[in-house]
Amino acid sequence: MKTTLRVASAFAIVLGLVCVPATASAASDLPSGVRPVQGPVITRFDPPGVTWGAGHRGVDLQGSPGETVVASADGTVTFAGVLAGRGVVVVDHGVVRTTYEPVAATVTVGGVVGRGQPIGRLLAGHASCPATTCLHWGLREGDTYLDPLLLLGAAIRLLPASATPAGRTAAISGALAPAEGLMRPTIGQVTSPYGMRRHPITGVWKLHDGTDFGAPCGSPIRAAASGTVVAITFTSAWGNRLVIDHGSGAGGHLVTAYNHAQGYAVAVGDHVSAGRVIGAVGSTGLATGCHLHFQTWVDGRLVDPMTVLP
């Protein structure tokens, strides 16, 4: 038992998994990344309900022994060695960090790596994939687990106070006529619009990067347009979060996100039609009450949802 506790403590210290309450989510500053190996996903992200609970804290990508593993994004190597008998590499990207195992490192601590740069060779023996060789790829923001596949989507970022929101985007989805725009994702009035404001909980003056719709907890959340669910995560700020990729149309490539939900009725990889119920309004994360925080990106650029909603 003492040995088990020492191993758990070592992981907590080296990978920075100590539970420190976060005051804001770094997920709004996720870097645009690449796959560390090119194989398909074998096991998807399934985060635990509590920090040390059971779950799958990353994704497993199929690979082959000796295959080159590359850094998902630009960053600095903060660990490259063996933990509990497994080769591990950790890369810090400023607001988040990625982990790779089992890997024989070809980089050293303190080294600066670029997106797509080799960091090691894939080793066999990962317990999650006994029948094949796979890479366990993780993503962390402080004490919060995130889905690494988020790095492969449209860049999600905060805009500076001086930025001008993008104007109305017509015919974003090929299935939508220019006059239709998107469907409202839930009932209720706008309680906090997109734009600069003082956060009601943290007191920080920053961009409110979406539109809040006030609705009773349990109210249905609907897909604003047809698309594919690409991520379901939990973060300290946004609480339960779901992201849909709607593909490209005449107006550009559209991605939407639905935050603070009680829970979701769909899974990553599901194709959803416009108007389908995908979850229920909640008050998870940094929220002062029941509401939906709705976000939109066009061609990787954050835009005011009300410029595309009816």
Classify residue 27: in a domain, yes or no: yes
Residue where a domain stops, chosen among 152, 173, 206: 152
pLDDT digits (tens, 9 = 90+) for 69-89: 999 999 999 999 998 889 999
Classify residue 55: in a domain, yes or no: yes
Minimum mean pLDDT range among 64-78, 119-133, 134-148, 255-269: 134-148
Classify residue 176: in a domain, yes or no: no
Classify residue 275: in a domain, yes or no: yes
On whether both 17 and 111 belong to a single domain, the answer is yes
Structure tokens at 286: 């940094």
Residue where a domain stops, chosen among 101, 122, 152: 152
Positive or negative torsion for Cα 255, 260, 266, 267: positive
On whether both 67 and 194 belong to a single domain, the answer is no
On whether both 133 and 37 belong to a single domain, the answer is yes
pLDDT digits (tens, 9 = 90+) for 189-245: 898 888 875 766 566 666 788 999 998 888 899 999 999 999 999 988 889 999 999
What is the domain-level CATH number for residue 142? 2.70.70.10
On whether both 10 and 146 belong to a single domain, the answer is yes
Classify residue 69: in a domain, yes or no: yes
Tell me how many domains the chain contains: 2
* Host domain of residue 247: 190-307
On whether both 215 and 139 belong to a single domain, the answer is no
Q: Where are the beta strands (DSSP E) in 36-163?
A: 41-43, 58-63, 68-70, 75-83, 86-92, 97-101, 103-105, 112-113, 118-122, 133-141, 144-146
**Residues whose CB falls within 8 Å of the CB of residue 242, separated by 6 or more in sequence, listed in order:** 229, 231, 232, 257, 258, 261, 264, 266, 278, 279
On whether both 102 and 216 belong to a single domain, the answer is no
Classify residue 175: in a domain, yes or no: no
Query: For residues 81 and 99, what is the distance between their CA atoms, to the nearest angstrom?
Result: 12
User: How confident is the prediction for the chain on average, in pLDDT?
Assistant: 77
CA atoms lying within 13 Å on the CB side of residue 111: 16
Classify residue 162: in a domain, yes or no: no
On whether both 96 and 218 belong to a single domain, the answer is no
The whole-number pLDDT of residue 114 equals: 95
